[in-house]
Amino acid sequence: MAIRFILLVSRQGKIRLTKWFTSDWTAKEKAKAVKDVSQTVLSRRTKMCNVLEYKDYKVVYRRYASLFFIAGTDIDDNELLTLEIIHRYVEVLDKWFLNVCELDIIFNFQQAYTIMDELLIGGELQESSKRSVINSLKRMEETEKAEQISNLL
């Protein structure tokens, strides 16, 4: 089970977050993949299946409010597990930002990336416990505040 990329796309087609877990994509290929996948997902009706194929990858997506969470996986990976990972990411975002919205991700994209890095390493699920991820984020935040205070003194 390996996720190759994750995209967060608004309903208007704006890319809010991208994370690539493999380095075998050139910048041009990444741009084309983001454009193709986001256009394909945005053009689908709500009653259609949340799984589709793009080149040698399986694309699994889920819409939460005004954002599409899109994951590209290997063709033989379990799409239900990928949907569960997407859902876990949204749950942790929601818990961290206290009812997350698109603006939280836009203005706090570093934290959104940090949360993703706490959940996934190299496209593999690292930590499934929401509590562990939130506790880790709190420790990081406390450390950053302590460093800022020590820099002021």
Residue 71 has pLDDT above 70, yes or no: yes
What is the per-residue pLDDT for 153? 75
CA gyration radius, the chain: 16
What is the per-residue pLDDT for 73? 94
Tell me the mean pLDDT in the region 44-55.
91
What pTM was estimated for this model as a whole?
A: 0.90
What's the pLDDT band for 1 if we cut at 50, 70, 90? low
Residue type, 142: E
From the list 34, 29, 31, 90, the residue with the least C-alpha distance to 65 is 90
What is the per-residue pLDDT for 24? 84
Tokens at 60, concatenated: 């699994």
Tally the C-alpha atoms within 13 A of residue 85's C-alpha that lie toward its C-beta. Answer: 29
Tell me the mean pLDDT in the region 110-127.
92
Rounded to whole angstroms, the Cα distance separating 125 from 119 reads 6
